[in-house]
């Protein structure tokens, strides 16, 4: 037998197969990228005015305070050179170990090689030194307005995070170790994952955060028993089946945000707020919003109030025979519930007995982490995109929210998927996070312009439906729950909005954790505590300074508050009734619709 007749070694055979797969995947990748939508430059980065403003401020800093700039540069050069010399000296002495690591620890660099291997440690330390120098330089620039400073800080942080050595194959020890262990198969699998994500998003790259096959809405998540008892073009109304013989007389309706879907409140039985509320003896209704397509282009905030809130409240009153309802609004749905309450106050309509607000903003005077996205260059681009598409696509919403936590929601998932070749985890919260929705064009622009940018609701008022609506028109008894580390609706901004509401009966609860975990916080887990205070709802810092910390979930405290405002106990109500036949079992049909734009 000649040498040419011999079969290649197993490793070589594996390599040949991998190369063949790479060639096929590369062809698919090129085909998928050809479907990419035309980019909107206004949504890809800040406008030229920010570059000019920041550049002018930097030049002024050079002219006014040259010593300050030189000091920063010399400090950076000194740190970088010192570390280089220490590393070189260690190698010259044959120690093959890096110099002492001054810290602080960064969880991106958890692999021991970042501390023990001279090559990786040198790269890590030089990156961290450069990152600190950039941050310090930007922080010392005078002459920037606060909004411009926040934007420069934000985009500087994005650049720093993007250039982390963990984001590149040649400087990521985890990915290199995996590639060696698998003889390159992990890289091939990573390319498969990359092609899959680009194909699934019409040429755009959106990292899949969760195994989409692991969950089925209505199958193993969103399974609380109930029925759709009303449907129109904007929402399905779900009434949940009672689990107690008696229920409170006054029904409760939840308005979830129409960014993402309502089943965040019913992910699984052990953390389902829906199930917990029903178990406490409340007749519960939940609105499930329609995922809009371009035919909803002219749907505005007024449409959501009239055909959504007011219609849903009327249907609940008709089904239960009660003259009033208690209402909950979550996030943007809480903002719109506030507008609805101000409208009902103008009309002297007493249909809402009490209101609960989850992580709700009504005072937008401090735009917080969204400052980067709420200036005219970006909002003008959003408006143009909405006019072209008829909706604000879920793609842009997902991307915006992800970049607020880019390491957690973009880079680390991308590393695991594309470099390590790992499948996405079976994580219900991330599955829900990826099940996003579009926003109607007019509604999206009105929300961004009138509320976020112009802060009309706490300012001059919002002219809508023949009335001028102001936050002071919210006069019903209310309970607001905010979350201590919420980066979407900061608790102080939420507090300031509640402080301006006209109600004489206000309760404020501050939950530990963030926008989702602080709300979906069941008592059985005893994970996050909460704060209450006897201080008046006027100054957030004084309120927090006098607050008492309570272990465990805020749910029971709020449940007791709600029970006091829900009337006597009556016989439990089954879903539907005369004139309201059951149209579908919960969680309904709208929640499973997928609309891509």
Residues catalogued as catalytic: 331
Is residue 132 packed enough to be buried (19+ CB in 10 Å), middle (13-18) or exposed (0-12)? middle
Place of tokens 């692999």: 111
- Phi then psi for residue 507, to 5 deg, are -130, 135
State both tokens at 204. 């755009």
CA gyration radius, the chain: 27
How many residues comprise the chain? 597
First to last CA, the chain: 61
H or E stretch covering 497: helix 491-499
Q: Give the 3-state secondary structure of residue 202.
A: coil
Whether residue 452 contacts residue 489, with contact meaning beta carbons closer than 8 Å, is answered with no
Beta bridge partners of 237: 230, 287
- Strands annotated E in 414-526: 439-440, 462-464, 467-469, 478-483, 506-511
Q: How far is CA 500 from the centre of its chain?
A: 26
Dihedral sign (CA 306, 594, 416, 262): positive
Place of tokens 């929402």: 235
Q: Which long-range contacts (CB under 8 A, 24 or more apart) does 540-546 make?
A: 540/491, 540/492, 540/495, 540/496, 540/499, 543/495, 543/508, 544/510
- DSSP secondary structure string for all residues of 51-101: HHHHHHHHHHHHHH-HHHHHHHHHHHHHHHHHHHHHHHHHHHTT--SPPPP
**Cis peptide bond prior to 104, omega within 30° of 0:** yes
CA distance 354 to 372: 35
């Amino acid at each position: 037998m000649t040498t040419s007749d011999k079969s290649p070694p197993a490793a070589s055979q594996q390599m040949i197969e991998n190369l063949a797969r790479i060639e096929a995947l590369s062809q698919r990748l090129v085909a998928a990228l050809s479907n990419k939508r035309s980019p909107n430059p206004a949504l890809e980065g800040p406008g030229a005015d920010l570059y000019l403003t920041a550049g002018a401020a930097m030049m002024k800093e050079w002219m006014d305070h040259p010593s300050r700039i030189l000091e920063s540069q010399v400090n950076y050069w000194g740190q970088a050179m010192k570390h280089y010399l220490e590393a070189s000296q260690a190698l010259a002495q044959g120690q093959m170990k890096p110099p002492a690591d001054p810290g602080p620890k960064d969880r991106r660099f958890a692999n021991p090689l970042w501390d023990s291997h001279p090559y990786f440690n040198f790269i890590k330390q030089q990156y961290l030194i450069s990152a600190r120098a950039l941050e310090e330089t930007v922080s010392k620039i005078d002459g920037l307005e606060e909004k411009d400073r926040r934007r420069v800080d934000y985009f500087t942080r994005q650049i720093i995070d993007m250039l982390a050595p963990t984001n590149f194959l040649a400087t990521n020890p985890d990915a290199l170790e995996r590639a060696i262990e698998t003889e390159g198969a992990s890289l091939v699998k990573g390319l498969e994952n990359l092609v899959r994500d680009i194909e699934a998003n019409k040429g755009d790259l959106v990292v899949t955060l969760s195994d989409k096959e692991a969950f089925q809405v209505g199958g193993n998540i969103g399974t609380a028993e109930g029925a759709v008892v009303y449907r129109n073009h904007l929402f399905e109304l779900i009434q949940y089946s009672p689990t107690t013989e008696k229920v409170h007389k006054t029904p409760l309706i939840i308005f979830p945000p129409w960014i993402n879907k309502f089943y965040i409140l019913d992910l699984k039985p052990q953390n389902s707020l829906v199930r917990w509320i029903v178990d406490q003896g409340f007749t519960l209704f939940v609105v499930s919003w329609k995922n809009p397509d371009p035919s909803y282009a002219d749907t505005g905030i007024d449409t959501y109030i009239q055909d959504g809130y007011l219609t849903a409240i009327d249907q609940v009153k008709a089904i239960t025979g009660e003259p009033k309802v208690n209402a909950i609004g979550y996030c943007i749905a809480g903002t719109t519930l506030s507008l609805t309450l101000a409208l009902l106050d103008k009309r002297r309509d007493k249909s809402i007995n009490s209101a609960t607000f989850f992580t709700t903003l009504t005072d937008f005077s401090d735009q917080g982490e969204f400052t980067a996205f709420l200036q005219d260059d970006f909002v003008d681009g959003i408006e143009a995109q909405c006019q072209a598409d008829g909706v604000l696509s879920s793609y842009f919403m997902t991307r915006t929210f992800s970049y607020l936590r880019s390491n957690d929601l973009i880079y680390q998932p991308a590393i695991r998927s594309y470099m390590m070749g790992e499948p996405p985890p079976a994580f219900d919260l991330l599955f829900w996070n990826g099940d996003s929705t579009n926003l109607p064009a007019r509604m999206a622009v009105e929300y961004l312009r009138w509320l976020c940018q112009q802060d009309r609701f706490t300012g001059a008022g919002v002219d809508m439906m023949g009335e001028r609506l102001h936050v002071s028109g919210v006069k019903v008894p209310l309970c607001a729950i905010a979350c201590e580390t919420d980066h979407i609706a900061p608790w102080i901004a939420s507090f300031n909005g509640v402080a301006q509401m006209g109600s004489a009966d206000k309760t404020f609860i501050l939950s530990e954790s963030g926008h989702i975990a602080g709300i979906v916080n069941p008592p059985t887990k005893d994970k996050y505590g909460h704060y209450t205070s006897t201080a008046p709802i006027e100054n957030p810092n004084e309120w927090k300074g006098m607050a008492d910390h309570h272990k465990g979930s805020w749910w029971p405290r709020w449940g007791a508050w709600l029970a006091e405002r829900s009337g006597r106990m009556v016989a439990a109500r089954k879903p539907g009734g005369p004139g309201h036949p059951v149209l579908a079992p919960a969680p309904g049909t709208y929640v499973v619709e997928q609309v891509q734009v």
